[in-house]
Amino acid sequence: MSATYAYYPGCSGLGTSAEYDRSTRAICKALGVGLVDIPDWSCCGSTPAHTVDHVLSCALSARNIAQAETLDVAGIVTPCPSCLTNLKTASHRMRDDAFKGKVESLLGHPVENRLPVMSVLQLLAEAIGPDRVAGKVVRPLTGLRLAPYYGCIMNRPPEVMEFDDCENPVAMDRLMAALGAEVAPFALKVECCGASFGVARRDVVMKLSGKLLDAAEDVGAHAMVTACPLCQMNLDLRQGQINAANNARHDMPVFYYTQLIGKALGLGDESLMLDKLVVSPARVFHTMEEAQRAAFQRAESQGASVA
C-alpha cells in the first residue's frame, strides 16, 4: 500500500469538473493510494487573488496547508493545476521567514510548511509509476491514439513546480502508454489554451484552443487528454464555438487522464462520468475496439498458419 495523502479537491472539483474529482478518487483507491480530504478546506484564491495581494493570496492557500498539517499524511495532493500553482507558490514563498511571518499574522496561527505539495499526476507518475499502473490494467487502450495536453502551468515556473520538464513534459505520455494507448508526438503540449479568458476574451480562446485542436488532428489523434479543468472546458465544452469561429469541423473528445486510467483499470461508468463529456467518446472507443478485434483476428490467423 502507498502512503496516505491530504487531498485538496478545489472548488471546481465539486462542480464543473466533478468527473475529474470522482475519477481521481476512484483510480487512487484502485491503485492503493489513500486520500483524506483536508478538513474544512477553503478556496485557495485561484486564479485572481495574487493580482491583488501576494500575501493575502498565499494566506488563502496557507490556511489549507495548515489544515492538512493536522493530519497524519505524507503530503498534499490536488488534481487541479490552478490550485496546485497557488498551493505550491505559497509553500515556496513561505521558505522566506519574513514573508511567512506576514502570512501567519494574517491567519492568526503558525504554519509549519513541512508537507510536500504535488499534483495527483506527479504522485501517479513518480510515487506509483507507469509500471505499477500497467500491472493493474484489465482493459488496455490499444488502438487509441492520444494527444496529451498539459497546459501552460502544470510544470511552470520550474523552480516552483519542480515536476517533469517545463518544455516537454512526459509524465502523462508515459502513463497513457502504460495503458496500452498510442501517444502522438504532440508539439503543443504546453501551449496556452486561453485559460480563464472564456468570458472576458472569448476570441482569444477560440484562436488558441482552435490551434490546439488543429494540431491534435494533424498528428492523427483520436482524442486529447488533459489534467486541467480549465483546459478541458475550453477544448471540450467550447468546441462547437471554436468550430463556428474558425470554420472548422472538430469532433474530438477531450478526456481527463484519470478517466482513461479508470477505464483501463476496468472501473465503472459511475466513477468515471464519461457521459459528462460534451463531445461524446463513443466513436473513438468504437474505433479502438475495432482495432483490437482486427489485431486479435490477425494474430489468430497467423497462429493458424504456423500450426
Domain that holds residue 221: 138-295
Q: Quick one: 160 and 186 in the same domain?
A: yes
Cβ(287)–Cβ(143) below 8 Å: yes
> What is residue 1's predicted lDDT score, i.e. its pLDDT?
46
pLDDT tens across 237-248, in order? 999 999 999 999
Q: Looking at the domain assignment, is residue 307 inside a domain?
A: no
> What is residue 2's predicted lDDT score, i.e. its pLDDT?
63
> What does residue 144 show for φ and ψ, rounded to 5 degrees?
-100, 120
> What is residue 302's predicted lDDT score, i.e. its pLDDT?
87
Q: Which residues of 219-257 are buried (b: 16+ CB within 10 A; e: fewer)?
A: eebbbbbbbbbbbbbbbbebbebbbebbeeebebbbbbb
Q: Containing H/E element for 64?
A: helix 54-68
Q: Quick one: 59 and 161 in the same domain?
A: no
Q: Quick one: 258 and 214 in the same domain?
A: yes
Q: Looking at the domain assignment, is residue 89 inside a domain?
A: yes
Q: What's the average model confidence in pLDDT over 151-173?
A: 96
Residue 88: how many CA atoms within 13 Å on its side-chain side? 24
Q: Quick one: 102 and 143 in the same domain?
A: no
pLDDT score of 41 more than 50: yes
Report the SS3 class of residue 307. coil
Q: What's the average model confidence in pLDDT over 59-82?
A: 97
Q: How many Cβ atoms sit within 10 Å of the Cβ of residue 261?
A: 29
pLDDT tens across 180-222, in order? 999 999 999 999 999 888 888 999 999 999 999 999 999 999 9
Higher pLDDT, residue 303 or 146? 146
Q: Looking at the domain assignment, is residue 212 inside a domain?
A: yes
In the numeric block, which cell numbers belong to residue 72?
A: 497524519
Q: Looking at the domain assignment, is residue 78 inside a domain?
A: yes
15 pLDDT tier (thresholds 50, 70, 90): very high
DSSP assignment of 30-93: HTT-EEEEPTT-----TTTGGGT-HHHHHHHHHHHHHHHTTS--S-EEES-HHHHHHHHHHHHH
pLDDT score of 223 more than 60: yes
> What is residue 51's predicted lDDT score, i.e. its pLDDT?
81
Q: Looking at the domain assignment, is residue 305 inside a domain?
A: no
> What is residue 196's predicted lDDT score, i.e. its pLDDT?
82
User: Rounded mean pLDDT of the chain?
Assistant: 95
Of 90, 121, 152, the residue that ends a domain is 121
In 3D, which of 64, 60, 8, 14 has the Cα closest to residue 36? 8
Q: Quick one: 80 and 144 in the same domain?
A: no
Total domain count, the chain? 2
Query: What CATH number corresponds to the domain at position 214?
Result: 3.40.50.11810
Of 62, 94, 121, the residue that ends a domain is 121
β-pairing, 34-37 with 117-119? Answer: unpaired
Full-model pTM: 0.96
Q: Quick one: 91 and 159 in the same domain?
A: no
> What is residue 48's predicted lDDT score, i.e. its pLDDT?
76
Q: Looking at the domain assignment, is residue 17 inside a domain?
A: yes
Specify burial of residue 142 (Cβ count, 10 A radius: 0-12, 13-18, 19+). middle
Query: What CATH number corresponds to the domain at position 29?
Result: 1.20.1050.140
Cβ(78)–Cβ(12) below 8 Å: no
> What is residue 307's predicted lDDT score, i.e. its pLDDT?
58
306 pLDDT tier (thresholds 50, 70, 90): low
Distance between CA 219 and CA 2 in Å, rounded? 37
Place of cell 501551449: 191
Q: Quick one: 66 and 169 in the same domain?
A: no
Q: Looking at the domain assignment, is residue 88 inside a domain?
A: yes
Q: Quick one: 72 and 173 in the same domain?
A: no
Higher pLDDT, residue 23 or 305? 23
